[in-house]
């Protein structure tokens, strides 16, 4: 998250990367574990630098290298100026390589056979699944009690104040089950239990300060989601989602000023609008908001505000226009558990 | 967003109107009377119960519904601003092998942003 607002938000960096590099982003948790051609290629690059991965340790950082796998630079720094210098040095090194290492078409990359990929450490959405962007933001209330975005003072870090991003995958069977053969306004439609639990346990999380802990099954104290038909025509089905969710690591909900260390929770209401194009059929809109009070923090999300504080989550159908739209859900590292929570 | 919905999120569910509670059932008086009775549990038990009540109230502070007329503003508020989305203007690839093929074809070096948790998601 920090690199998003420092190095990769810098206009010079953006211009340089778009013009002179092929930029790629990857999750080290998968890449360093993959036992296939991709994993071996990556490790071959990484071990030329300081991230040797002893004992399976992290290899995270920012690497510059050639298509043949020759490392040009490695750095893991948040200062855009430092990183710009590193990128320029990498370009200088690249320019000095023999032509068979850098000319267009000079390096021959062998085709990759999908069947040889390490399925344990690669994620692709199931056939026909849809992806939904999931944003989250810590909020505050103004003097009238209205929710607003939190802002940093001059010179203060914006860590934890920016909108975060993850993705929800909904399988074809799940979204198709939302389309009844016959429907009229006022009808209730059942939400698949696995989808309701996936949303609650893996997507109503505070990931604004880092990799979040997911909710355990027993943390779901209440998860009441309902779908109502608002409008039904031969072409369109408009649904409204209402929900009330209580997630808490303790059976009893603590009061705001009595939250013990390691206690976490989120007490929220949901409202959303889901439109179905019945002709295709396809989900045309998936706009949902969760809003309520969150409390506590996880191992990698330290720095939460004390007590219960307003926290919002927004869901939006991914239209495929962002490169990030294909990124798997964070919780899908446990693939089976994600699809059937 | 001067809205009832977001105001309501911050508010707490109302307790019973105090004026409607007879004075003889007020907590202090109740305890004083109970403590004077031999059958009352030990003060330690009382203290524990009061402490628990202070720490874990009933779910009387639950979130309240989001008003439909405020939905669009909330949905937008939570999403990233243009300023927060600058990093998405980089033409990111998400497949290392495809990035390798593209770099070879175009004669460019690869920049790999590798994090524990996908840099384009997760947080």
pLDDT for A142 equals 86
Dihedral (C-alpha) A244, A249, A251, A257: value to the nearest 10 degrees? Answer: -90
Q: Calculate how close chain A gets to B37, using CA atoms only, in Å.
A: 31
Beta strands A22-27; B110-115: pairing state: parallel
pLDDT for A40 equals 96
A51 confidence band (pLDDT: 50, 70, 90): confident
Three-state secondary structure readout of chain B: CCCHHHHHHHCCCCCCCHHHCCHHHCHHHHHHHHHCCCCCCCHHHHHHHHHHHHHCCCCCCCCCCCCHHHHHHHHHHHCCCCHHHHHHHCCCECCHHHHHHHHHHHCCCEEEEEECCCCCCCC
pLDDT for A52 equals 83
User: What are the tens digits of pLDDT across the range A270-314?
Assistant: 999 999 999 999 999 999 999 999 999 999 999 999 999 999 999
Whole-number Cα distances in Å, A91 to A85, A316, B109, B112 = 10, 38, 8, 14
User: What are the tens digits of pLDDT across the range B48-92?
Assistant: 655 554 444 445 467 889 999 999 999 999 999 999 999 999 999
A165 confidence band (pLDDT: 50, 70, 90): very high
Q: Is the pLDDT of residue B39 over 70?
A: no
**A4 at B interface, C-beta within 8 A:** yes
B99 φ/ψ angles, rounded to the nearest 5 degrees: -65, -40
Whole-number Cα distances in Å, B111 to A48, A331, B94 = 15, 26, 12
Chain-chain contact of B71 with A63 (C-beta, under 8 angstroms): no
User: What are the tens digits of pLDDT across the range A99-135?
Assistant: 999 999 999 999 999 999 999 999 999 999 999 999 9
Interface of A with B in 292-321 (CB under 8 A): 292-293, 308, 310, 312-314, 316
User: What are the tens digits of pLDDT across the range A9-21?
Assistant: 999 999 999 999 9
Q: What's the average model confidence in pLDDT over A254-259? A: 86
Identify the residue with better confidence: A166 or B63: A166
pLDDT for A156 equals 83
pLDDT for B42 equals 66
Tell me if A265 sits within 8 A of A250, measured CB to CB: yes
Burial (CB < 10 A; 0-12, 13-18, 19+), residue B99, is buried
pLDDT for B11 equals 35
Q: Is the pLDDT of residue A38 over 80?
A: yes
pLDDT for B10 equals 36
Per-residue exposure over A247-280, b if at least 16 CB sit within 10 Å of its own CB, e if not: bbbbeebbbeeebeeeebbbbbbbbbbbbbebee
A182 φ/ψ angles, rounded to the nearest 5 degrees: -120, 135
C-alpha to C-alpha distance for A216 and A202, rounded to whole angstroms:
9
Please, what is the average pLDDT of chain B?
Answer: 71
Residue from A88, A204, A289 whose CB has the most chain B CBs within 10 Å, to mutate: A289
pLDDT for B61 equals 62
Beta strands A265-277; A282-295: pairing state: antiparallel
Share above pLDDT 90 across residues of chain A, in percent, rounded to a whole number: 87
- Residue of A54, A55, A74 lying closest to A64 (CA atoms): A74
Q: What's the average model confidence in pLDDT over A235-259? A: 94
C-alpha to C-alpha distance for A93 and A98, rounded to whole angstroms:
10
Domains of chain A: 2-121 (3.40.30), 130-339 (no CATH)
pLDDT for A212 equals 94
- Using a CB-CB distance cutoff of 8 angstroms, which residues of chain B are in contact with residue A29? 116-117
Identify the residue with better confidence: A196 or B30: A196
pLDDT for B44 equals 65
Please, what is the average pLDDT of chain A?
Answer: 95
pTM summary value: 0.86
The lowest-confidence range among A141-150, A166-175, B59-68 is B59-68
Q: Calculate how close chain B gets to A109, using CA atoms only, in Å.
A: 6
B3 confidence band (pLDDT: 50, 70, 90): very low
Q: What's the average model confidence in pLDDT over B106-116? A: 97
Chain-chain contact of B92 with A147 (C-beta, under 8 angstroms): no
Identify the residue with better confidence: B28 or A179: A179
For residue A292, the Cα-to-chain-centroid distance in whole angstroms is 21
By Cβ distance, the residue of A87, A109, A149 closest to B100 is A109
Extract the tokens encoding A178.
Answer: 């939302």
Q: Calculate how close chain A gets to B69, using CA atoms only, in Å.
A: 11
Domain-by-domain residue ranges, chain B?
A: 28-57, 67-114
């Amino acid at each position: 998250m920090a690199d998003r607002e420092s190095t990769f938000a810098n206009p010079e960096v953006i211009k340089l990367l778009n013009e002179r590099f092929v930029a790629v982003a990857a999750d080290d948790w998968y890449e360093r574990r993959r036992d296939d051609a991709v994993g071996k290629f990556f490790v071959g690059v990484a071990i030329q630098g300081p991230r040797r991965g002893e004992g399976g340790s992290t290899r995270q950082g920012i690497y510059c290298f050639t298509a043949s796998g020759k490392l040009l630079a490695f750095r893991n720094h948040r200062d855009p100026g430092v990183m710009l210098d590193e990128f320029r040095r990498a370009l200088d090194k690249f320019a000095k390589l023999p032509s068979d290492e850098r000319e267009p078409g000079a390096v021959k990359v062998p085709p990759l056979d999908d069947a040889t990929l390490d399925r344990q450490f690669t994620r692709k959405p199931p056939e026909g699944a849809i992806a939904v962007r999931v944003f989250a933001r810590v909020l505050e209330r103004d003097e009238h009690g209205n929710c607003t975005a939190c802002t940093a003072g001059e010179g203060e870090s914006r860590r934890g104040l920016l909108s975060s991003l993850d993705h929800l995958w909904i399988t074809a069977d799940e979204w198709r089950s939302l389309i009844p053969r016959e429907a009229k306004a006022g009808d209730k439609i059942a939400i698949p239990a696995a989808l309701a639990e996936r949303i609650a346990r893996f997507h109503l999380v505070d990931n604004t300060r880092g990799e979040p802990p997911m909710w355990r099954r027993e943390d779901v104290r209440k998860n009441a989601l309902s779908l109502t038909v608002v409008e039904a025509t031969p072409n369109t089905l408009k649904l409204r989602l209402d929900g009330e969710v209580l997630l808490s690591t303790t059976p009893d909900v603590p009061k705001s000023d009595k939250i013990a260390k390691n206690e976490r929770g989120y007490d929220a209401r949901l409202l959303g609008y889901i439109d179905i194009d019945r002709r295709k059929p396809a989900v045309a809109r998936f706009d949902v908001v969760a809003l309520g009070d969150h409390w506590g923090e996880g191992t990698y999300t330290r720095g939460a505000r004390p007590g219960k504080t307003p926290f919002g989550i927004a869901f939006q159908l991914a239209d495929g226009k962002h490169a990030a739209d294909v990124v798997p859900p964070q919780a899908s590292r446990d693939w089976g558990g994600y699809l059937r929570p | 967003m001067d809205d009832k919905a977001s105001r309501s999120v911050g508010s707490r569910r109302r307790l019973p109107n105090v004026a409607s509670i007879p004075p003889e059932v007020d907590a202090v008086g109740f305890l004083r009377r109970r403590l004077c009775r031999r059958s009352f549990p030990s003060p330690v038990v009382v203290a524990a119960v009061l402490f628990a009540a202070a720490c874990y109230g009933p779910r009387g502070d639950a979130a309240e519904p989001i008003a439909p007329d405020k939905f669009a503003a909330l949905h937008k508020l939570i999403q990233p601003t243009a300023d927060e989305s600058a990093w998405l203007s980089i033409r990111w690839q998400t497949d290392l092998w495809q990035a390798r093929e593209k770099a070879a074809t175009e004669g460019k070096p690869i920049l790999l942003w590798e994090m524990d948790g996908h840099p384009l998601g997760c947080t």
